[in-house]
C-alpha cells in the first residue's frame, strides 16, 4: 500500500470522505481549499485524508477515513502519521485535528499519533448539522480539538 497525493485529474473518493463527515457541502469545501491524499493498494483506494491550511503556519487534518472493509488494520494510523510528516515537510509549525465528543476510537487514534487535547468547541455539531447525530450511544454535540507542534 502507498499513500500519494491525489492527482488533479483524479476524482476524490466522495463515498469515503462522507464516512468522516456527513455534510456533502463541507466535504466539497474542504476538497476545494485543501490537498487530498489517498492510500492505494494496486489501483484501489482504501483510505483518504485532506490537509487543509487554516492559519499562517497551521494546517488541519480533515476527513480522514478508511474503507469499512479495511478498518482496524492500521491504515488509519498510517494516514494520520503520513499527514503529520507531510505537514512537517511542507514547513508547517502546528497540525490540528478535531472530532466529536462521542468518537472514542478516533480520540484514541489521534492521541496515539501524538496529538494532545487543547480545547472544546462547544455545540459545534448542533450549530453545523441540521439533524442530530448519534455514535457509541451518545449524541455528538461538542467538537474536541487536538493539536501537536511539528
Q: Which residues bind ligand ACO (CB under 6 A)?
A: 19-20, 61-66, 71-77, 97-99, 104-106, 108-109, 112, 136-137
Half-sphere exposure of residue 86: CA atoms within 13 angstroms, side-chain side: 21
2 touches 39 (CB < 8 A): yes
Task: Say which DSSP state 70 is in.
Answer: G
To the nearest whole angstrom, how small is the minimum distance from the Cβ of residue 65 to ligand ACO? 4
3-state secondary structure of 57: coil
To the nearest whole angstrom, how small is the minimum distance from the Cβ of residue 33 to ligand ACO? 15
To the nearest whole angstrom, how small is the minimum distance from the Cβ of residue 99 to ligand ACO? 4
By beta carbon distance, the residue nearest ligand ACO is: 76
Q: Which residue has cell 474536541?
A: 144
| Minimum CB distance to ligand ACO smaller for 9 or for 98 | 98
| Minimum CB distance to ligand ACO smaller for 113 or for 150 | 113
| Minimum CB distance to ligand ACO smaller for 9 or for 32 | 32
Task: Say which DSSP state 74 is in.
Answer: S
To the nearest whole angstrom, how small is the minimum distance from the Cβ of residue 43 to ligand ACO? 20
To the nearest whole angstrom, how small is the minimum distance from the Cβ of residue 110 to ligand ACO? 8
Q: Which residues contact 30 (CB under 8 A, 6 or more apart)?
A: 17, 21, 50, 52, 62, 63
**CA-only gyration radius of the chain, Å:** 15
Q: Which residue has cell 514547513?
A: 91
| Minimum CB distance to ligand ACO smaller for 96 or for 150 | 96
136 touches 104 (CB < 8 A): yes
| Minimum CB distance to ligand ACO smaller for 46 or for 150 | 46
Amino acid at each position: 500500500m502507498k499513500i500519494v497525493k491525489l492527482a488533479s485529474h483524479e476524482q476524490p473518493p466522495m463515498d469515503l470522505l462522507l464516512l468522516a463527515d456527513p455534510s456533502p457541502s463541507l466535504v466539497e469545501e474542504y476538497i476545494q481549499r485543501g490537498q487530498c491524499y489517498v492510500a492505494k493498494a494496486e489501483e484501489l483506494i482504501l483510505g483518504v485524508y485532506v490537509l487543509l491550511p487554516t492559519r499562517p503556519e497551521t494546517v488541519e487534518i480533515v476527513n480522514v477515513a478508511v474503507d469499512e472493509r479495511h478498518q482496524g488494520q492500521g491504515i488509519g494510523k498510517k494516514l494520520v502519521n503520513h499527514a503529520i510528516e507531510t505537514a512537517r515537510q511542507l514547513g508547517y509549525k502546528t497540525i490540528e485535528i478535531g472530532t466529536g465528543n462521542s468518537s472514542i476510537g478516533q480520540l484514541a487514534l489521534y492521541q496515539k499519533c501524538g496529538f494532545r487535547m487543547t480545547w472544546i468547541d462547544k455545540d459545534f455539531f448542533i450549530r453545523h448539522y441540521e439533524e442530530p447525530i448519534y455514535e457509541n450511544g451518545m449524541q455528538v454535540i461538542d467538537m474536541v480539538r487536538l493539536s501537536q507542534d511539528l
